[in-house]
Each structure stands twice: as C-alpha cells, then as structure tokens.
Amino acid sequence: MKERRKLERFDLRLPAEIDVAGGETRIRNLFTRNICAGGAFFETSDPLPLDTRVKIDLVAPTRVQIIVVGSVCRSEPGGMAIQFDEEYKLLPLAPA
C-alpha cells in the first residue's frame, strides 16, 4: 500500500492534555503515539467524536510547551487522530 502522508511522522510519546473547545471537558494524562507537523495520534480508551474541536498542550523533551488547536479527524478503539491548525505557540518551561 502506498504511503499517503505528505509530512514526516515520528514515533514519539509526548505527554498531553486536551481541552474540548466550548466545553468544560479536559482530558489529562494522554500520550501521543506518533506526531508530525500536521497532527498526532493520541492513545485513549475514550476517543472523542469526529470533528470535535480541541486545544492541546504538549510537553516536548526539550522542556518546551507546545500549544496547538485542531480537530479530531479519526476515532478508533485505542485512540484518536487530531489534525492541527496551522497556528501554534511554543513556550519555554520554567527550570525544574
């Protein structure tokens, strides 16, 4: 099967928190399974419905917080894929 992805994907496990847009729902203690510049797959036993708008906080190993907004583009048992919007924020974390 031919690979359809346009962006390089990395198998990277990053901690994440997801806020559902317009609601009070916050999902904590999630991890990415893989990530690219356009989105990520998040491991969860309770994936969100398709097209759900979310704000995601990721923490990179370099002690940088990444804040991105996106939409659920695939839900399946064991997780969900979220496509990122183009805008994002990078914030340095305070020293531990």
Does residue 81 lie within any of the structural domains? yes
The CATH number of the domain where 63 resides is what?
2.40.10
Does residue 6 lie within any of the structural domains? no
Judge if pTM exceeds 0.75: yes
| Number of domains present in the structure of the chain | 1
Percentage with pLDDT > 90 across the chain: 65
Does residue 7 lie within any of the structural domains? no
Q: State residue 93's pLDDT score.
A: 84
Does residue 56 lie within any of the structural domains? yes
Residue-wise pLDDT tens digits, 46-74: 999 999 999 999 988 888 899 999 999 99
Does residue 8 lie within any of the structural domains? no
Does residue 57 lie within any of the structural domains? yes
DSSP class per residue in the chain? -----SS--B----EEEEEETTSS-EEEEEEEEEEETTEEEEE-SSPPPTT-EEEEEEEETTTEEEEEEEEEEEEETTEEEEEEEEEEEEEEPPP-
* Domain encompassing residue 52: 15-92
Q: Which residues pair with 39 in a beta bridge?
A: 36, 83
Q: State residue 5's pLDDT score.
A: 59
